[in-house]
């Protein structure tokens, strides 16, 4: 890209987090329980995480000070509804204070209503696949309405339902003693969970709209950017459909669709291929492939035409912050090219604001801001200043 590209008016420019990954002490969630079982996937428990349940003001001060205009965070169902039908006024007031606190700092809050974790009681009764899960989700969202009823323009109903469906299969396999490898060969999504999540999304949209009609709703999908080798197009399409496209199809007609992309998945005639030997890998073991974002946007627009897109996550797990800047510049270049080609993109949120709990371990550092694991002192990295500045200049940052 050779010319400076100005962000369109109203373009969201932010960073993302999720409650369980940063709050700490989320003891009533199914993940906390999971973290204290002895499965190989878990290297360490989340513990205090970033202590953001108490330090959220500091997080928001930093993000606003860096120049960001938007902040995506999630509310924790396990805190709001610790037992079935029993709601915590204190937890609801906490998240309401966060919404108001964001606004006071000039940050527009995007609120994720579900980001991977469930209350323990919900999982014990069978999780999403159990009858009535959509009703229960709608009941929670009704009780949580004071959080988002005013001052929130965007609500994400469910984060990465396509990964939630994979996790449902993984959980069953782990319980039956099977070894599960996410990096090499992630399990197929569970069909009943997929259907239940699509129902739950529809109910959530209906519920939020009935209580707060001004809130723009959508859901965010993990886009694995399937790239077929020549001749493997049909194999790639068959691989992708239950893992992504069925969820994209369910987003048709939504106010917006969240695109989350990190890397690509190569598909050969026999299916998913390993990361090429000579490829640079991130701390997740994923191929370093910034152009994934542009591909994900184009594919999303082709399956859900007419639905505006928002990048709700994009980033890299690396200990080398110069690679983060390089990766993100490449990703933004691919985003700009997609927009030049007419793809309707309304915002970009980087994953993640903070180094945080990456579902079983702290080692993969995705943050723009480092967090000391004992003192919780936050230290913005150079990438944070580089990316945040675009919120003020309204010019898309490019390769230095």
Q: Which residues bind ligand IFM (CB under 6 A)?
A: 18, 21, 160, 260, 313, 351, 358
Q: Please report where in the chains the tokens 């995007």 appear, as a residue.
A: 110
Report d(CA 67, CA 62) in Å as an integer: 9
Q: Show the CA angle centred on residue 330, arms to residues 325 and 335, nearest 5°.
A: 120
Alpha helix positions (H), 186-291:
191-211, 233-240, 246-249
> What tokens were used for 223?
């886009």
Q: What are phi and psi of 109, to 5 degrees?
A: -80, 130
User: Smaller CB distance to ligand IFM: residue 138 or 164?
Assistant: 164
List, in order, residues 6 or more apart from 175 with CB less than 8 Å away. none
User: Least distance in Å: CB of 21 to ligand IFM?
Assistant: 6
Gap between the terminal Cα atoms of the chain: 12
User: Smaller CB distance to ligand IFM: residue 21 or 307?
Assistant: 21
User: Least distance in Å: CB of 279 to ligand IFM?
Assistant: 18
User: Least distance in Å: CB of 132 to ligand IFM?
Assistant: 26
Report d(CA 39, CA 173) in Å as an integer: 11
User: Least distance in Å: CB of 2 to ligand IFM?
Assistant: 32
User: Least distance in Å: CB of 24 to ligand IFM?
Assistant: 16
User: Smaller CB distance to ligand IFM: residue 260 or 265?
Assistant: 260
User: Least distance in Å: CB of 239 to ligand IFM?
Assistant: 19
Q: Are strands 265-268 and 271-272 parallel, antiparallel or unpaired?
A: antiparallel
User: Smaller CB distance to ligand IFM: residue 81 or 160?
Assistant: 160
User: Smaller CB distance to ligand IFM: residue 1 or 284?
Assistant: 284
DSSP 269-303: TTEE-PPPTTS-B-TTS-B--TTHHHHHHHHHHHH
């Amino acid at each position: 890209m050779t010319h400076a590209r100005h962000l369109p008016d109203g373009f969201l420019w932010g960073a993302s987090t999720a409650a369980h990954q940063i709050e700490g002490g989320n003891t009533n969630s199914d993940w906390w329980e999971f973290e204290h079982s002895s499965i190989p996937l878990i290297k360490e428990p989340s513990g205090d995480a970033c202590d953001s349940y108490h330090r959220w003001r500091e997080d928001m001060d930093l993000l606003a000070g860096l120049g960001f205009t938007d902040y995506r965070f999630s509310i924790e169902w396990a805190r709001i509804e610790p037992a079935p039908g029993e709601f915590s006024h204190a937890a609801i007031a906490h998240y309401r204070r966060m919404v108001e606190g964001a606004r006071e700092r000039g940050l527009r809050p995007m609120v994720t209503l579900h980001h991977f974790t469930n209350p323990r009681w919900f999982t014990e009764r069978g999780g999403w696949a159990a009858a009535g899960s959509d009703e229960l989700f709608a009941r929670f969202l009704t009780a949580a309405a004071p959080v988002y009823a005013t001052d929130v323009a965007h609500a994400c109903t469910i984060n990465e339902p396509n990964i939630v469906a994979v996790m449902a299969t993984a959980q069953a396999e782990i319980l039956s003693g099977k070894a599960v490898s996410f990096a090499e060969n992630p399990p197929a999504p569970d069909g009943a969970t997929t259907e239940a999540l699509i129902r739950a999304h529809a109910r959530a949209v209906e519920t939020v709209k009935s209580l707060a009609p001004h809130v723009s709703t959508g859901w965010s999908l993990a886009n694995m950017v399937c790239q077929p080798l020549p001749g493997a197009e049909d194999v790639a399409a068959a691989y992708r459909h239950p893992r992504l496209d069925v969820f994209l199809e369910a987003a048709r007609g939504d106010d917006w669709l969240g695109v989350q992309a990190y890397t690509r998945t190569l598909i050969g005639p026999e299916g998913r291929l390993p990361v090429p030997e000579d490829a640079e890998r991130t701390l997740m073991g994923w191929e370093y492939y910034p152009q994934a974002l542009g591909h994900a946007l184009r594919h999303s627009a082709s399956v859900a035409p007419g639905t505006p897109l928002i990048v709700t996550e994009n980033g890299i797990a690396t200990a080398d912050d110069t690679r983060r800047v390089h990766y993100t510049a490449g990703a933004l270049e691919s985003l700009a090219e997609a927009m030049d080609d007419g793809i309707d993109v309304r915002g970009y949120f980087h994953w993640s604001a903070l180094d945080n709990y990456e579902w079983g371990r702290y080692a993969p550092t995705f943050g723009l801001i480092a967090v000391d694991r004992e003192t919780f002192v936050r230290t913005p990295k150079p990438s944070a200043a580089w990316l945040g500045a675009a919120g003020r200049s309204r010019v898309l940052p490019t390769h230095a």
